[in-house]
Chain A
Amino acid sequence: MDLTRSEIKITVAKFLEVAYSKDKGTTAKIMAKKGNAKLTVDQDGNATLSGSAGILTFSGNPVLEKIGMKVKRVSVNFTNEDGKNIGYSATFSLEVISMTVTGEFDLEALITSCSGLLCIAARALKGRNAAYDLELQRVMGM
């Protein structure tokens, strides 16, 4: 299989990045609210980020297309217990098997602070390279 654990973690961050670029206020509210949130993406790229603070739909196609293999469904459960660290469990359902990764990331490092990675990425869409992916990977818990 070509999909590795680090690629799955980076892909989860990239879905959040697309959500953030569509509606940073709603994305930040959903993720910052203590409790559970959920991200689902179907095979057509229809993505939904939902939680008690709101719901956001967006196209996950730009991210799905970069995976390079057929993904039937992505489902990520987020748990925010302290308003800062977010635990997550991400399942990628492929044609025959599924792959599940668990991890934790610092919400501020990824989203809420304007020094957060997605905020920086949103401000400077150019310059995406391997270093950016490595930084996403680091933030997502590896």
Chain B
Amino acid sequence: MKLTSILIASLLTGCATVNTGSTLYSTYESYRREVTSDNIQTSYAKYFSPELISGKNIANKEVQDQLLFKNGMLRIESHYEDIRGQKGCLTVNGYDKDAMPLSFNIEFTPDNQRWLIRAIDILFVDNVRDFSLKGRCPSDYINQ
């Protein structure tokens, strides 16, 4: 009976963790390196979850610009991530074209051994002291 309980607990723990073989930041870096305005219409599915892009017109310039949100940060200062079960959150702190500080707070979801972006919030801060020093989710900042 005790052995059965241990086995069930182990199985449940196994289900609660995700092995994608990559960090959230390495996924972000891959997106930052590979996705451009020239290939966004063919490459978006590799990085963005169906949940996020469902019903969106990828040919629309506004949608494309938002999917290319990475362009809003010219210099990266630091990054932190936090993975809990089926959800991962990455915070990338850096500076925009005017050298003003901003943070990307990105939520990821696992899909076929990889991470896909499920939500993005761009947080404009006034001071680098406002940079988060841990991985935060968009929902930590978005007003409901």
**Which A residues form the contact surface with B (CB < 8 A)?**
1-2, 5, 8, 69-70, 75-77, 89-91, 93-103, 141-142
Select B125's contact among A69, A97, A98, A102, beta carbons within 8 Å.
Answer: A102
B63: Cβ under 8 A from any A Cβ: yes
Chain A residues near B72 (CB, 8 Å)?
Answer: 1
A96 touches B123 (CB 8 A): no
Per-position contact with A for B46-83: 1 when CB-CB < 8 Å, else 0?
Answer: 00000011001000101101110101100000000000
Given that A1-B65, A98-B121, A100-B121 are contacting pairs, would A91 and B141 also be in contact in the complex, using a CB cutoff of 8 Å?
Answer: yes
**Known contacts A89-B141, A97-B122, A102-B123; can you find 13 more A-B pairs with CB under 8 A?**
A1-B66, A70-B62, A75-B142, A91-B142, A91-B143, A93-B142, A95-B63, A97-B69, A98-B119, A100-B143, A101-B123, A102-B124, A142-B126
B16: Cβ under 8 A from any A Cβ: no
Chain B residues near A95 (CB, 8 Å)?
Answer: 56, 60, 62-63, 66
B104 vs chain A, min Cβ distance (A): 9
Task: Give the number of residues in B that approach A within 8 Å (Cβ atoms).
Answer: 28
**Which B residues form the contact surface with A (CB < 8 A)?**
52-53, 56, 60, 62-63, 65-67, 69, 71-72, 100, 102, 119-126, 130, 138, 141-144
Query: A142 to B119, alpha carbons, bound, how many Å?
Result: 28
Interface centre among B56, B65, B138, B143 (most CB of A within 10 A): B143
**Number of residue pairs spanning A and B whose beta carbons lie under 8 angstroms apart:** 71
Select B120's contact among A75, A91, A97, A142, beta carbons within 8 Å.
Answer: A97
Nearest A residue to B64, CB-CB: A96
B120 touches A100 (CB 8 A): no
Nearest A residue to B123, CB-CB: A100
Select A97's contact among B60, B66, B144, beta carbons within 8 Å.
Answer: B66
B143 touches A75 (CB 8 A): yes
A98 touches B124 (CB 8 A): no
B73 vs chain A, min Cβ distance (A): 11
Closest 6 CB pairs of A and B: A75-B143, A5-B124, A96-B66, A91-B143, A97-B120, A101-B124
